[in-house]
Amino acid sequence: MQFLSHVFLANVALWDRNTIGHSPVSAQPMPDKASKPMRSSPSQLQQIWDTQTLASFSVSQLDAFSALYWGDCPYLSRAIRCGRHRRGEMGTVSFSRLQRLVSAYLDEEAALAQRQAVSMMRHVWTNYEERAFGKDELRPVSGIGRNNWGGIGQTLVDALDTLWLMDFKEEFDRAALWVEQSLSFSKDLNVNLFETSIRHLGGLLSAFALSRRSGLLDVAKDLGDRLIKAFPPPRTANRSRDTSKGLGAEFKKLLHHVGLPTEALDSVLGNGKNSEVVISLPSSDINLGSGETKNLAGFISLAEAYVPIEWKYLAALTTNCSYSAAQDQVLHAINRSLNLEENGLGMIMLKQDGKAFPSAQNRLSLGSRGDSFYEYLLKDLIFSADVAEDKLTKKLWSSFRAKLPGLFAEGHQVDRTPGSSWPHRSPKEVPRGRGGALGGWHESWKDAPSPWLFLKEITPHHTVPKMDHLVCFLPGAIALEIFHSEKKSEVDLQLAHRLAQTCVHMYWRTVSDLAPEITRFTQNGLVDDKGSMHNILRPETIESLFLLWRTSKKQIYRNWGQRMLAAFYRTKTRFGFASLHNVNQPSKRRDDMPSFFVAETLKYLFLLFSPDTGLPLDQYVLSTEAHPVPILGKAHSGLKWPCHPKQTSQAKAEKPEDPKDGDQATKESTPKSTQVCDPQRVQQLEEQMKEGERQLQKIRREYGMCVSDPICWASGYTYEDCCFPVPVGNTACWDAEFTYSRCCG
């Protein structure tokens, strides 16, 4: 970019003050053009920042730097004492002094931005307390409270730790008291397991971690005991059957022969190496009162199945290891069914057995239904690093990182010149393998000089050049990985930066400066997805800016955050902050303020401009709903991990202890028994194997050996998923390479 010219800088400085109408704090005269030479832009700034960072400063910031350079006080600054007498011969300050002054000025600005985030929270909370206390949500335009999540205090619970971190201690106490005295989960209410785990369970546990208020842990535990019923029962045995020998081996041979995945057998019997026996995934929905489970959408999302931080922290606090075992089981089940250790990426719609749900909508995606699965691989790795004995999380995160470039694609800068056809209509999906020139973007992220880097989605049929705003968690996750690595990879930091840049431009290209729910890409760069132009105040981009700031300390992330803070601020209504129907029509507001706006968006805005000590990232990890929990084994956690395999007893898993308060919760666990083998269960499994063998014979009789190429059954698809009904089977299984005849014989 061209740095602002001297004259332009001086002129815009005048325009800025007059237009905005700010009156200077100190009585400083306006520059007298006749008697005083124009201020010049300090070229020294280019020694402090790169051009992209310089371009990200606002005009008023540049004006302030210019003032500092010339020994003047920046307008409105209260922090900087100016020393005209210290000017050098040229009438300017020295480079080292300029650096100090600029840094003091930026610190002051950060403190102001932090205060603005606090004032936004105050605005929300005053109205919520007054008009909707204890309700799920406050409608920001009409000021009416509503129980659209079944009346379980969604906003209140999700906001507890934000109140604590922002030092609204009285408000926190009132809200915590409401949780302890009035919140009841004993009701006939169907809830989504994932949402309730990340918002309620995570919210309560984090509020407990920060405040040590034991009543909050009691409520969390009650909720945990209700939700855990959505998981299949824990299956652990210290001695698993070795399916590489005997009847198991025979059965495996048969399975292999007909092209069916042999891992399924391991998941039932174990493979003799691993004591964990995996059954399947939790149901997506559960009735809090009756414990009845359902999969309301007909399938389970990859992201929704795995929520390790909340459940493992609950296990650590209560010494009830069944909470954590359930998460380990889920991960093992998904790994087996989707072969994630090798594939790195998994389909987002799953059947309860962990295999891919047969649907043309199924896809590889880091957006909706996929996002937090990958986020949680990393976060669990950080959270459990010091206590983890099972290395699967680490393997899966590494394999995800290795396969991630397979989703990269690039598009070029948008052409906004008058007369150009921008904004363009959304492109249709492109048949897989025919991106590039036809689709207008590049299949390989190394193909083009400096285009936008984005993440495509891959369905069985198509490559889809679209990116959900949800994907914008990824640059932050990569930054967080770097934060916790000993070797800080510049290449990864650059990758995170490029992805963040794409996310930020999803914001800057709209009228409101807020990103739409979905953005598409063509040869002209970022384009609209007509049906998805709304914004529901999501946090992912600001979250990434926060993590990039903490990791790199590069000013550009705070600058982008300042602009984003202003954009969110402009959604202010009389009673809160409102979602938008269309980011290009900011006056059309939705009477809707989701709880993650207070749990995440405002919290990340606050943290981005706060000193690191407020929430040290070497001590805490933020959940996918931005609820901080202390990293296990670190000083702040004050916990010992009670769930080492030898310490975890079957009896304990089935009948959890009932800690009365926070102190008790931190006591070490005492293993009660070590069950070796359950003969009844073994008999049951042997019967299942025999039944399996009968089924297999049936398949062989009916379909012969025409199972063709087993490579077709990647990503959890099976012969049965794809080949029936004959003769075309399920077309979701076919793409350019795989055909019915190739796969089904």
What residues make contact with ligand DMJ under the rule CB under 6 A? 198, 372, 470, 538-539, 596, 600, 624-625
Angle, helix 154-165 to helix 169-182, in steps of 10 degrees: 150
Question: Whose structure tokens read 């500092």?
Answer: 68
Q: Which residues pair with 458 in a beta bridge?
A: 364, 463
CA 505/CA 411 separation, integer angstroms: 13
* Shorter beta-carbon distance to ligand DMJ: residue 102 or 138: 138
Work out the angle at residue 116's Cα, subtended by the Cα atoms of residues 110 and 121, and round it to the nearest 5 degrees.
130
Element (H, E) at 53: helix 51-56
* Shorter beta-carbon distance to ligand DMJ: residue 372 or 426: 372
* Shorter beta-carbon distance to ligand DMJ: residue 126 or 148: 148
Q: Give min distance, CB of 355 to ligand DMJ, in A.
A: 23
Structure tokens at 30: 């306006």
CA 595/CA 599 separation, integer angstroms: 6
Q: Give min distance, CB of 393 to ligand DMJ, in A.
A: 18
Q: Give min distance, CB of 624 to ligand DMJ, in A.
A: 4
DSSP state of 25: S
Strands 462-464, 430-431: pairing is: antiparallel
* Shorter beta-carbon distance to ligand DMJ: residue 371 or 410: 371
Q: Give min distance, CB of 499 to ligand DMJ, in A.
A: 17
CA 624/CA 620 separation, integer angstroms: 13
Q: Give min distance, CB of 158 to ligand DMJ, in A.
A: 9
CA 464/CA 430 separation, integer angstroms: 6
Q: Give min distance, CB of 538 to ligand DMJ, in A.
A: 4
* Shorter beta-carbon distance to ligand DMJ: residue 240 or 579: 579
The total of other beta-carbon atoms located within 10 Å of residue 11's CB is: 14
Give yes or no for a contact between 326 and 228, defined as CB atoms under 8 angstroms apart: yes
The total of other beta-carbon atoms located within 10 Å of residue 265's CB is: 22
* Shorter beta-carbon distance to ligand DMJ: residue 356 or 542: 542
* Shorter beta-carbon distance to ligand DMJ: residue 166 or 366: 366
Q: Give min distance, CB of 472 to ligand DMJ, in A.
A: 9
* Shorter beta-carbon distance to ligand DMJ: residue 470 or 500: 470
CA 230/CA 226 separation, integer angstroms: 8
Q: Give min distance, CB of 419 to ligand DMJ, in A.
A: 37
Burial (0-12, 13-18, 19+ Cβ within 10 Å), 449 = exposed
Q: Give min distance, CB of 600 to ligand DMJ, in A.
A: 6
Enumerate residues 6+ apart whose C-beta is below 8 A from 339: 263, 714
* Shorter beta-carbon distance to ligand DMJ: residue 92 or 155: 155
* Shorter beta-carbon distance to ligand DMJ: residue 139 or 538: 538
Question: Whose structure tokens read 């174990």?
Answer: 270
Q: Give min distance, CB of 687 to ligand DMJ, in A.
A: 41
Work out the angle at residue 521's Cα, subtended by the Cα atoms of residues 517 and 522, and round it to the nearest 5 degrees.
150
Q: Give min distance, CB of 366 to ligand DMJ, in A.
A: 12
CA 142/CA 163 separation, integer angstroms: 24
Q: Give min distance, CB of 159 to ligand DMJ, in A.
A: 13
* Shorter beta-carbon distance to ligand DMJ: residue 154 or 730: 154
Structure tokens at 245: 């020998």
List, as one string, the DSSP characters of 343-403. H---BSEE-TTSSBP--TT--B-SSTTTHHHHHHHHHHHHHHTTT----HHHHHHHHHHHH
Give yes or no for a contact between 606 and 165, defined as CB atoms under 8 angstroms apart: yes
* Shorter beta-carbon distance to ligand DMJ: residue 155 or 650: 155
CA 2/CA 104 separation, integer angstroms: 26
